[in-house]
Amino acid sequence: MTADLITPPVDDPFRFGQIAAANALSDVYAMGGRPIACLNLVGFPAARLEQEVLAQIVAGALDRITEAGAVLAGGHTTEDDEPKFGLSVTGVVHPREFWTNAGARPGDALILTKPIGSGVLFNANRKGWISAAAMEACLEALIALNKTAAEVMKGFEVHAATDVTGFGLFGHGLEMARGSQVTLRFEADAVPLLDEALDAYRRGMTTGVNEVNRQLVEGTLRCERQLPDWQREIFVDPQTSGGLLVAIPAEQVEKALAALRQAGIERARRVGTVEAFDRHHLVLA
């Protein structure tokens, strides 16, 4: 069972619910599981917002829950100063087939199934820096379930997996590297990025979480590629409803990427490799 309660940075209540639900369901997919039942977790300012807003949030969540093949079994609502919404999700997986984030092996390849950069895009959008097309592409990426990606990857030998959310690519990569006692080498140019996200960092935008994520990986990250400070920020950008980071045998990576793209996961990329531990858990190359 997993539980998430977040405030998705979007004004449309239906999409608010979609993003929150996709984010919560992702924890089950990251373990190779299948969601079966969900409970709403709601904080809502009833004195300030109409009940229709809450109804649309729940409707958006139900849209994603239904696509996941799960059911909404009820939930709990409390009074709060701002709307917060999430799900407690129960899923199932065969005890010999579940994935952890602690089994990556030297020689594995790393696949990332969604582009990163949503954190900075939402902040930059508040200042009018982001085009409507870029924001729409960002929202569509966040709304998309990791269901299809997980189903495709079940056809391959997954050694480790995690979803990339609030700690950013490097933060969640660090969890995998430490759990597996290996070094993850990320290739900067291979990581898929949401449109206009990198430009937002170049122009000076950031998020309130970047510094925390940067401190999290400080001392365990080695940069072999000399990049400007603003460009390195994208790798600690906090994601909401990000993709899966998966370690599989290198000889399977091309077939896995082809299968993902055939299934509609067109932005999936090979983003690096797993190496024997060498003083640092993360390398940016």
Number of domains present in the structure of the chain: 2
* Domain span at 126: 108-284
Report the phi/psi class of residue 117: left, alpha or beta, with left for phi > 0 and alpha for psi in -120 to 50. Answer: left
Shared domain check, 183 and 85: no
Virtual CA dihedral for 147, 134, 269, 266, nearest 10 degrees? Answer: 60
Check whether residue 201 and residue 116 sit in a common domain. Answer: yes
Q: Does the pLDDT at position 5 exceed 90?
A: no
Could you give the C-alpha distances from 208 to 123, 140, 212, 214, 238, in angstroms and in order? Answer: 10, 23, 8, 11, 9
pLDDT tens per residue across span 240-268: 999 999 999 999 999 999 999 999 999 99
Domain presence at residue 97: no
Per-residue pLDDT band for 11 (boundaries 50, 70, 90) equals confident
Amino acid present at 185: R
pTM for the whole structure: 0.93
* Per-chain mean pLDDT for the chain: 94
pLDDT at 51 over 70: yes
Together in a domain, 130 and 80: no
Q: Is 277 in the same domain as 233?
A: yes
Q: Is 221 helix (H, G, I), strand (E, B) or coil?
A: strand
Residues 88 and 198 in one domain: no
* Two tokens, residue 245: 């980071």
Q: 86 and 179, same structural domain?
A: no
| 98 assigned to some structural domain | no
Predicted confidence at residue 10, as pLDDT, reads 62
